Structure 1
Amino acid sequence: MSDTGVAGNPDQSGNAAPEQNWSYHPDGTRVLNIAGILRSRAGATPDAPAILQGADTTTYGELDARSSQVGRALIADGVAPGDRVAYVGVNAPSFLEVLYGAAKIGAIATALNNRLAPTELDGILRDARPAVLVQGVGEPAVRPDAHPWLRRVVTSDDYIGWMGPHPAADPGFEAAPHDPAVVFYTSGTTGLPKGIMLTGDNMSQALAVLHHDAGFDSTSVAMAPIPFFHISGFGIAVVATLNGSALLLETETEPHALVELLVGRRVSHAAVVPTLVQRMVDVPAASTADWSSLKYLIYGSAPMPLPVIQRATAIFGCRFLSSYGLTESNGGVTILRPEDHFPEAGREQQLRSVGRVMSGVELVVVDPVTLQRVPVGVKGEVLIRGGHVMLGYWDNPAATAAAITPDGWLRTGDGGSFDDQGYLYLHDRLKDMIVSGGENVFPAEVESALTAHPAVAEIAVIGIASPTWGESPYAIVVRRPGHLLREQELIDFARERLAHFKCPVGVEFVASLPRNASGKLLKNRLREQYRG
């Protein structure tokens, strides 16, 4: 794409001082790699709480020492700089120990989704080819002999015996800022896994807004209910370390219990979904609880209605932050700041936006065919450029070339438009993606799996509104002539092949699917029909 485009839609970017575009250690030096984040924090506040879980507290000094033991254990297993070290499991201290331990020897931490079906996880392992796989509590067995590149599988039962005997001396590796530091896996629209490589420089820039502007400090307690294998959950965990905050590894999904947890644990920063906030303000105990510790509620994936913001502000007394981004952009590239949540009269629509572009990021909206910029108010594809953008897809140069233009623009596949104040609005997803409880679900992947059922002739998967998850997959199916197929049978078929969050919550059987004259499936018509 040319750097000169259609008038009326110039590059959008923030105007903070350049130094605010980066994250910094307690001694004022710039963050260059992941290992340095923990090293510097442990040096500054070794006795401060790093992780809270039940009755257990892990200090920064302890986290630093244990991650060094993990690094030494990896070296003993023959892991070298550039090798992948994978972790699969729920949020736990061991995830952070493995993350920082791998970073201390120059290995690439690879965060895997423990909600995937075994066949899906197997496909990612074959792509990443990790030297060591560490499993959290309750994860199913993985046979090392099924993956010849695996030197060791460390189960939760083996973990202490594996890392414990090694000394807590830091291995001392210093990764270069542009080296791959971590790989996150995301499914493509074809269902093929792609590993997203992020660097120390990416992290330093992507964490800057939360680092500087969200009030994290040594008195903060951050609650991260989002899995660490998601970039948003990972980001909260790492910025907590960077700023010396305590990370609470407890969460609740039921509103009454969540209110008790937030108040009882004196949480200062919590990541939530808007539907849960709406349910929390309806809890009678919330209006009389002591919310003096709560500073910020951080949300994404859906807008927060103004009446909910007003009620939540009156009850909780906190501020709100929202953003938009992708794993490929290391999380947020726009931000809807606290002051944006109380728009001037006539500007209420900005609450449906994802905010303005963060400092240090370039973001444009273009015609998806010509890649020429479109005027303000016109829908197009969102493109992103700058230090937040991934290094590329792991071992997949073709996918990298398709996603990033020769002059560095990341094609998001998301439809959007700017207003005249620089607020970005997202429209139809060009990639046809469903966001269910923060998980990305690609209809093409679900459709491909369910088409394998002998009774399915045609299928279309769309997202329908869910009060709990925001959206859920829903299948519209044409049966093959002469075949009987019931709703639960097809859902069970899906659950044998796909992660449960990808499976349809309902099925409707129809005589035919709507198509245009050329035979193209009219999914927009289906979305309108099933909009609830």
Structure 2
Amino acid sequence: MTTSAPLQESQASGDTRPALIEQPIGAFFAAMAASQPDREALVSRHQGVRLSYGELDQAANRLASALLGLGLDKGDRIGIWSHNNAEWLLMQLATAKVGLILVNINPAYRTSELDYALNKVGCKVLVTMARFKTSDYLGMLRELGPARLPQLKTIVWIDQAGQGADEPGLLRFSELMARGDPQDARIAAIGATLRADDPINIQFTSGTTGFPKGATLTHRNILNNGFFIGEAMKLTPADRLCIPVPLYHCFGMVLGNLACLTHGATIVYPNDGFDPLTVLETVQAEQCTGLHGVPTMFIAELDHPRFGEFDLSSLRTGIMAGSPCPIEVMKRVVKDMHLGEITIAYGMTETSPVSCQSSTDTPLDRRVSTVGLVQPHLQVKVIDPETGKTVAPGVSGELCTRGYSVMHGYWGDEEKTREAIDPEGWMHTGDLATMDAEGYVNIVGRIKDLVIRGGENIYPREIEEFLYRHPKVQDVQVVGVPDAKYGEELCAWVIVKPGQVLAEEELREFCRGQIAHYKVPRYIRFVAEFPMTVTGKIQKFKIRDAMKAQLSLQEEKTA
């Protein structure tokens, strides 16, 4: 976005060049593969798999043929319940080629959540890992059984190394692949009927209350978002992107896979689940030029005892996203990991996901303090949550997004869709933001995270950014907890850097005279880790719940 004059209100529109891609994913990828068949498309380090663009296209066609052989038709739903591997990417491409709707199932789901998700969207086929660490996926499926999953006709399990035992009544992924024909004429015939605005992907998002909602995304949604994300990173076929973030989430699937595939770049998976050492080893061994991650991942990599052993000088760009990016962490990533052109991205699953992103040439002060400008072909505005009116620059309010990236809707839930997307097509994000006069957006928190202490509005992120400056603090999360006198009080959960000792009074002393007295956390707890989702998002509601329970217990003891 470019502006010739300062904005008079907090609303901005992205560039309209280049034009949007109006092809379905399968056709676009087939053309990319034909243009550079021998260039490396995928490296899955933990599997020892390397595929060129030509080989990946052939394998995706073979799988598409095999899926049709299971009796699936265009528009049918097929689930993928797995951590990162080559099979995940093949499923993403194969389903898109023949119009099957891929349903991303969170690997952290357990039986009740799986039951709900599969039945909500009517999955006919599920492709799953057999097990991962302590998670027995096939065991959970056996526990549910056909009676609880009446629409599920076929279970395919990914038979990787060390998981080769027979599973009665279930189909091996390798066996499924062997059934397919990459020259199957049905692939082209179905492909010719697909449109860019056909739904192609369902991702479950929990929102703030109630059951998970199935955000339904189209070819047009995610293909274009992946393309413009890659443009902001200045990706080319020479780039090699290390993707340790989960594929089941938009971060891995769109910001990772599709950003690469729309630019002819190489996808590199360091492992099936996140491990900081494996990431560092992979970046060095594969000469990766890009690296994605949520802030907690970058912190884990930077603070790994062996960090200094690795040559990361090949790195150039990448994305830090998923949760607010601490300024001090961002500075370390740029300096110590050679990520001078790293970008910040902001979005939500319902917007495919990215609405705003900094670019490789955004001034560093803006890159570490904002989420950049609105993406091409999109609009964003900041509104007063009470009146709905657009606020002036610098004033906080709810961020709304409109344009090609807004989801098709929540699967089978028109009421929730209408609550999220207003009649003018604006997606209401629930995030509090400010926009400056040049259009740079800063996320200041969630509407539900705002703490009101004695009538003072406090944004937890502001306090977190300040506490990060303490040399002994590795990570910190701030929440509000109930208080009889002030309504709410601040609570900080702090992870101390390895080998350091930090006391409550030392941290409070650090705050005195530097921030307003009402912003100094009343409660400080030192913890080893935060409750978080599999994608690395901090679950602040669990921190609040734990503190409420602690405080109630203390009150009972003193009563």
Structure 1 counterpart of 2:360: 338
TM-score computed with the length of structure 1 as normaliser: 0.75
- 2:390 is paired with a residue whose SS is coil
Structure 1 pair 226–315 and aligned structure 2 pair: CA distance change class (3 A): closer
Letter aligned with residue 362 of structure 2:
D
**Which whole-Å deviations, capped at 9, do the CAs of 1:140-185 have from their partners, x for residues lacking one?**
2223443221121112241111231221125122320111011111
Instruction: For 1:200 and 1:467, locate their aligned partners in 2 and report how far apart those are by CA, in whole Å.
Output: 44
- CA displacement at 1:274 relative to structure 2: 3.4
Residue 261, structure 1, aligned to residue 282, structure 2: yes
The Cα shift of 1:286 comes to: 5.5
Encode CA deviations 1:2-55: one digit per residue, 9 max, x unaligned: xxxxx931531233xx33253xxxxxxx45212123211221222222221233
Q: Pick one of 71, 86, 92 that aligns with 1:93.
A: 86
Q: How far 1:249 sits from its partner (Å)? A: 1.5
- Aligned residues of 1:85 and 1:132 also touching (Cα < 8 A): yes
Cα distance in structure 1, aligned partners of 2:205 and 2:492: 19
Alignment match, 2:267: 247
Q: Which of 238, 259, 263 is the aligned partner of 1:219?
A: 238
Aligned residue number for residue 32 of structure 1:
23
The structure 2 residue matched to 1:183, chosen from 190, 194, 202, is 202
- Consecutive unaligned residues of structure 1, counting only runs of 5 or more, are 1-6, 23-29, 436-442, 444-459, 469-493, 515-532
Q: Quick one: which of 129, 145, 149 aligns to 1:147?
A: 149
| One of 413, 422, 447 as aligned partner of 2:430 | 413
1:96-245 matches, cutoff 5 A? 96-138=89-131, 139-141=136-138, 142=141, 143-157=145-159, 158-170=172-184, 171-172=187-188, 173-174=190-191, 175-235=194-254, 236-245=256-265
Paired residues of 1:224 and 1:271 also in contact (CA < 8 A): yes
**In the TM superposition, what are the counterparts of 1:341-420 in structure 2 within 5 Å?**
341-343=363-365, 351-420=368-437
> Equivalent residue for 1:49?
40
Q: In structure 1, give the amino acid aligned to 2:18.
A: Q
Matched letter for residue 60 of structure 2? S
Distance 2:63 2:491 in 1: 43
AA of the residue aligned to 2:151: W
Residue 382 (structure 1) shift: 0.9
**Match status 1:297 vs 2:312:** no
Percent identical residues? 25
Distance in 1 of aligned mates of 2:554 and 2:11 = 41
DSSP-derived class of the 1:57 partner? strand
In structure 2, give the amino acid aligned to 1:46.
P
CA contact (8 A) 1:85 1:130 kept: yes
Quick check: 2:382–2:397 contact (8 Å CA) kept in 1? yes
Answer whether contact 2:333 2:339 (CA < 8 A) is retained: no
Deviations 1:375-421 (A, max 9, x none): 12222111110111111111111111111111101111111121222
- Note if contact 1:183-1:196 (Cα within 8 Å) is conserved in structure 2: yes
The residue number in structure 1 matching 2:331 is 309
Distance 1:187 1:92 in 2: 25
Rounded Cα–Cα distance in structure 1 between residues aligned with 2:77 and 2:51: 26
Query: Which piece of structure 1 moves more, 426-435 or 384-393?
Result: 426-435
Assess, with a 3 A threshold, how the Cα gap between structure 1 residues 199 and 9 changes in structure 2: closer, same or farther. Answer: same
Work out the CA distance in 1 between the residues paired with 2:542 and 2:329.
Answer: 31
Query: What per-residue deviation string (whole Å, max 9, x for no partner) do you get for residues 272-295 of structure 1?
Result: 233544564566875685444212
| TM-fit CA distance, 1:342 | 2.3
The answer on whether the counterparts of 2:232 and 2:357 sit within 8 Å (CA) in structure 1 is: no
8 Å contact kept, 1:287–1:315: no
Q: Is the Cα contact below 8 Å between 1:278 and 1:308 reproduced in 2?
A: no
- Amino acid corresponding to residue 338 of structure 2 in structure 1: F
Q: Distance in 1 between matches of 2:550 and 2:177?
A: 54
Provide Cα deviations, 1:104-126, integer angstroms capped at 9, x if missing partner.
22111111111112211111111
* Residues 281-313 of structure 1 deviation map (CA, whole Å, 9 limit, x = unaligned): 566875685444212131012224258526733
Maintained 8 Å contact 2:115/2:148: no
Alignment check: 8 A CA contact 1:31 1:204 kept: no
Contact 1:202 1:387 in 2 (8 A): yes
Deviation at 1:211, TM superposition (A): 3.1
Instruction: Give the Cα separation in 2 of the matches to 1:31 and 1:313.
Output: 39
Contact 1:14–1:359 (Cα < 8 Å) also in 2: yes
Matched to 1:258, the amino acid is V
Q: 2:551 aligns with which of 499, 510, 513?
A: 510
- What is the rounded CA distance, in whole Å, between the counterparts of 2:492 and 2:110 in structure 1? 21
Superposition map of 1:521-532 within 5 A: none
Give the AA of the match of 1:305: I
Equivalence for 2:470: none
Q: Contact conserved, 1:21 with 1:208, CA < 8 A, in 2? A: no
CA distance in 2, matches of 1:280, 1:162: 38
Could you tell me which amino acid in structure 2 is paired with residue 328 of structure 1?
Answer: E
1:238-276 Cα offsets, whole Å, 9 max, x none, are: 221222222111148565553333112211111023354
Give the direction of change, closer, same or farther, for the CA distance of 1:148–1:32 in structure 2 (3 Å limit): same
Partner of 1:517: none
2:18 counterpart SS class: helix
In structure 1, how many angstroms separate the alpha carbons of the residues matched to 2:64 and 2:329? 50
Q: Taking structure 1 as reference, are residues 231 and 431 closer, same or farther at Cα in structure 2, changes over 3 Å only?
A: farther
Are the counterparts in 1 of residues 95 and 101 from structure 2 also a CA contact under 8 Å? Answer: yes
- Give the direction of change, closer, same or farther, for the CA distance of 1:263–1:315 in structure 2 (3 Å limit): same
- The residue type paired with residue 161 of structure 1 is E
Per-residue CA distance 1:72-124 (angstroms, 9 max, x = gap): 22222221111111111011111121222212221111111111122111111
State the secondary structure of the residue aligned to 2:117: helix
The Cα of 1:69 is off from its aligned counterpart by 2.1
The aligned amino acid for 1:299 is M
Distance 1:223 1:203 in 2: 20
One-letter amino acid of the structure 2 residue matched with residue 19 of structure 1: R
Provide the C-alpha distance between the structure 2 equivalents of 1:140 and 1:284, rounded to a whole number of angstroms.
Answer: 33
Change (3 A) 1:305 1:359: same
SS in 1 for 2:87: helix
Cα shift at 1:215: 3.0
